[in-house]
Amino acid sequence: MILYSKDNITKAVTAMKTGGRMAHGFFLTGEKGVGKKTAAAYIAKVLMCESCTDGVPCGKCRHCRRIDENIHPDVIRPERSGIKQIYSRDTIREVCSDAFTAPNDCDAKVYIFADCESIEERSQDLMLKLIEEPPDTAYFIFTAADRSALISTILSRVITFGISECSEEECRRALADMGKYTPEQIEKAAEAYHGNIGSCIEYLENGAAAENAVLCTRIIDSLTKNSEYELNKALYDIGENREKIKDVLALTDKVIRDVCIIRLNGKGNVPLIGCYGSGAERLAERLSFRRAENIHNLLCRTIDYCKANVNVPVAMSALSGQLMG
């Protein structure tokens, strides 16, 4: 397992392992697709590998292989439930109880809470005592988009690592190393998602990311044309799935941030981060920096609405009116 652009994690975890002072709580933050779950699996390997050398897991022993295959009995990934897909209080209670039972097959049990924005504050309160005084064999890894997902009392008791995208060159190399994609496919994915390996894989594998990118380009083009009809059609075609809406609007926001960059620095002077560079350049010719910043704020607010229990059609209708305002 290669962790591209994750030296901060590998060096720190290696030092903890070799120094015999491994932390029991980790918090990995970064946007979707940058490798938080891969980094979590790497930490689990460091803890469980049978042939760990100088704090580096071998990647070949039965524990490492099982972790790669997501079948290790001592790597527990609690499930979310309900309409809002949250970690229920019952699930948290089960973890608090299970953490005190002995591991099944090695000397450690690792609990990975992916997207811990889905742990409500009162449920995090239930975990606080466990995080403060964990059993010797229990380790906890949380992942989220940003630090605000965890309450301050837990945040102060875990080691936090910020994870960012790797370079486009590293992304291309990672995709090539998988041996599944043509150079043309790799180039197209990297052009859309730059150094975000997870989003590139999703783009190439299941079409969801590719569809989201197309919806993003339609929104940007409608703003460039100042076409209310095309904007409404694009927003309608996203549907009412909150996760899909958040993904499409987050992609759109990256392009809008590119518009801001172009307005401030001119074309070609600063690397762009969005999936539609040519669209950003055309839109920058029409929008002022202040208007682009305004749209950025509108998109962020709508994404926050989707995270909360806000009526989706109402939120999207309001967004459409404000984008054309």
- For residues 85 and 200, membership in a common domain is answered with no
- For residues 83 and 103, membership in a common domain is answered with yes
Structure tokens at 264: 């401030």
Give the residue-averaged pLDDT of 238-244: 92
Residue 123, in any domain of the structure: yes
- For residues 215 and 270, membership in a common domain is answered with yes
Q: How many domains does the chain have?
A: 3
Tens of pLDDT, residues 104-152: 999 999 999 999 988 989 999 999 999 999 999 999 999 998 899 999 9
Structure tokens at 194: 């730059």
Are the beta carbons of 131 and 157 closer than 8 angstroms?
A: yes
Average pLDDT of the chain, as a whole number: 92
Q: What is the largest CA-CA distance in the chain?
A: 63
What percentage of the chain has pLDDT greater than the value 90? Answer: 77
- CA–CA separation, 110 vs 112, rounded Å? 6
- CA–CA separation, 76 vs 111, rounded Å? 5
* Residue 30 confidence class, pLDDT cut points 50, 70, 90: very high
Residue 140, in any domain of the structure: yes
Q: Which of 162, 192, 215 is the last residue of a domain?
A: 162
Give the residue-averaged pLDDT of 147-170: 93
| CATH for 47 | 3.40.50.300
- For residues 270 and 286, membership in a common domain is answered with yes
- For residues 56 and 178, membership in a common domain is answered with no
* Residue 4 confidence class, pLDDT cut points 50, 70, 90: low
- For residues 138 and 55, membership in a common domain is answered with yes
* Residue 85 confidence class, pLDDT cut points 50, 70, 90: confident
User: The tokens 């029991």 sit on which residue?
Assistant: 24
pLDDT at 1: 57
Residue 2, in any domain of the structure: no
Count of other CB atoms within 10 angstroms of residue 14:
16
- CA–CA separation, 238 vs 229, rounded Å? 15
- For residues 199 and 211, membership in a common domain is answered with no
Residue 1, in any domain of the structure: no
Give the N- to C-terminal CA distance of the chain in Å, as an integer: 49
- Closest to 283 in 3D by CA, of 311, 261, 307, 315: 261
**If residue 110 lies in a helix (H) or strand (E), which one and from where to where?**
strand 109-113
- For residues 177 and 112, membership in a common domain is answered with no
Tens of pLDDT, residues 244-301: 999 999 999 999 999 999 999 988 888 888 889 999 999 999 999 999 999 999 999 9
- CA–CA separation, 246 vs 77, rounded Å? 23
3-state SS class at 109: strand
3-state SS class at 104: coil
Quick one: how far is CA 68 from the chain centroid?
19
Q: Please state the three-class secondary structure of 191-213 as a single string.
A: HHHCCCHHHHHHHHHCCHHHHHH
Asked whether the predicted pLDDT for residue 207 surpasses 90, the reply is no
- For residues 15 and 90, membership in a common domain is answered with yes
Residue 150, in any domain of the structure: yes
- For residues 19 and 124, membership in a common domain is answered with yes
DSSP states of 43-76: HHHHHH-TT-BTTB--S-SHHHHHHHTT--TTEE
Supply the range of the domain harboring residue 201: 167-206
One-letter amino acid for residue 249 of the chain? L
Q: Which of 162, 196, 221 is the last residue of a domain?
A: 162
Asked whether the predicted pLDDT for residue 189 surpasses 80, the reply is yes
User: The tokens 């527990």 sit on which residue?
Assistant: 76
- CA–CA separation, 254 vs 275, rounded Å? 8
- For residues 134 and 217, membership in a common domain is answered with no
User: Residue 56's beta-bridge partner residues?
Assistant: 53
| CATH for 249 | 1.20.272
Q: How far is CA 233 from CA 54, 84, 247, 253, in A?
A: 56, 26, 17, 18
- Closest to 80 in 3D by CA, of 69, 90, 70, 68: 90
- For residues 252 and 230, membership in a common domain is answered with yes
Count Cβ atoms within 10 A of the Cβ of residue 197 and give its class: 0-12 exposed, 13-18 middle, 19 or more buried: buried
What percentage of the chain has pLDDT greater than the value 70? Answer: 99
